[in-house]
Amino acid sequence: MSEYHVPVMLKESVEGLNINPRGVYVDVTFGGGGHSSYILEQLTDGKLVAFDQDLEAQDNIPQNNKLVFVHGNFRFLRSFLRLNGFEQVDGILADLGVSSHHFDAEMRGFSFRFDGPLDMRMNTLSKLDAAHVVNTYEPAKLLEILRVYGEVDNPKPLVKAIVKRRDERPIELVQELVEALQPHIPANAQHKFLAKVFQALRIEVNREMDALKQMLEQSLKVLKPGGRLSVITYHSLEDRLVKNFMKSGNFEGKVEKDFYGNASSPFNVITRKALVPSAEELESNNRSRSAKLRIAEKK
C-alpha cells in the first residue's frame, strides 16, 4: 500500500471500537486504508464496510473478502449500508482529516504550497470547486464562510481583496488567491493564516459540516446497542459537533431529561476528555498535531 496517508491514532481509534471478530464495522473515511487494514486484521468472520468519495482512494483497496468498498460520501451512510445488506453495525470509525495525499497532490488545490488549480474537491466528480466559490459567491457569503468555517478574526479585508481581484480577472490558481490576499497576511503567521482560509474554502466546497451532521445522526440509527462510535477530528468546529452529539444526541449539547429529571442520552461517553496523539506520534507525524479522538457507546 502506498503512503497515501499515515493513519492518525491508529491503535487508540480502532481499539476504541472494542472489536468483535464476527461483527460488522464501518470505516467512513477509507483514504489510504490504514485504519481499515487494522480493523480487518482483527476480524475472523466479520465484515468491514469502507467508504470514500475520492476515486483515487480505490487504488488502496486490499484484496480481502471481508471488505466491502463503497465509492460514496458518508452522508449517505444508512442508504449504502442497506444497499449492501447491512441494517445495523457494531462500530463506526471516522478519521475526518484531509489525507496527506490530498495536501501533497499539486493539482488538487488543497495546499497553498503549490500553484495548481483552485479546486479542493474531495469528490472530483462534484461540480462545485473552490474557484467557483471564490469567483461567484456574494461578499456576505464569503465573509460568513471565512468567519465560521475558517474562524478568521477579521475577514472583511480578505473579502474586499478577493472581490477586487476577481473583478479584474477570475481567480483560477492557488497562487493567484494567495497573491490577492498577500497584503493582509500577517508576516509572522503566514502559514497558520492561510491554513484557516483554505480550511474554510475546503469545508464549503465539500459541504463537510452538513455531511458530518448527517453521518452522526444516521450513526444512531445503524449502531446496535453496545456499538461504538470512534471519531478523530482536526478543528474545533468538528470537535464541538462530535462532543455535543456524543454527550446528548444533538448538536447543541443539550441533554434531555425524563419525567423524573434524570439526564437522558443515547450514548455512554467512553472518552470523558478527548484523546490526543502521543509525543512519539507527534514527532513521527507532524500532521497529527491537531487531532482529537472521541469514543462513545450506544446505549
Q: CA 228, 213, 7 angle in degrees (round to 5)?
A: 55
CB-CB contact of 106 with 174 (8 Å): no
Q: DSSP letters along 105-168, please? A: -GGG---TTS--BS---SSTT-S--HHHHHHHS-HHHHHHHHHHTS--S--HHHHHHHHHHHHH
- 15: which residues sit within 8 A by CB, 6+ positions away? none
The pLDDT tens digits of the residues spanning 58-85 come to 888 988 999 999 999 999 999 999 999 9
CB-CB contact of 40 with 48 (8 Å): yes
CA 44 vs CA 33, 253, 257: distances in Å: 18, 37, 41
Paired residues of 233 in beta bridges: 292
CA 38 vs CA 43, 57, 64: distances in Å: 9, 17, 13
The pLDDT tens digits of the residues spanning 220-278 come to 999 999 999 999 999 999 999 999 999 999 999 998 887 777 778 999 999 999 999 99
C-alpha cell at 133: 466559490
Ordered domains of the chain (ranges, CATH): 10-100+208-298 (3.40.50.150), 111-206 (1.10.150.170)
- pLDDT surpassing 60 at residue 1: no
Distance (Å, whole) CA 177 – CA 63 = 42
The pLDDT tens digits of the residues spanning 190-230 come to 999 999 999 999 999 999 999 999 999 999 999 999 999 99
Q: Where are the alpha helices (DSSP H) in the chain?
A: 10-15, 34-41, 77-83, 100-104, 130-136, 139-148, 156-168, 174-181, 190-206, 208-222, 236-248, 279-284
Give the closest residue to 126 by CA, choosing from 205, 201, 30, 56.
205
Average pLDDT over residues 155-182: 97
The pLDDT tens digits of the residues spanning 137-166 come to 999 999 999 999 999 989 999 999 999 999
CB-CB contact of 66 with 53 (8 Å): no
pTM of the model: 0.91
* Confidence tier at 102 by pLDDT (50, 70, 90): low
CB-CB contact of 130 with 149 (8 Å): no
Q: CA 58, 290, 77 angle in degrees (round to 5)?
A: 40
- pLDDT surpassing 60 at residue 46: yes
Give the closest residue to 95 by CA, choosing from 176, 158, 34.
34
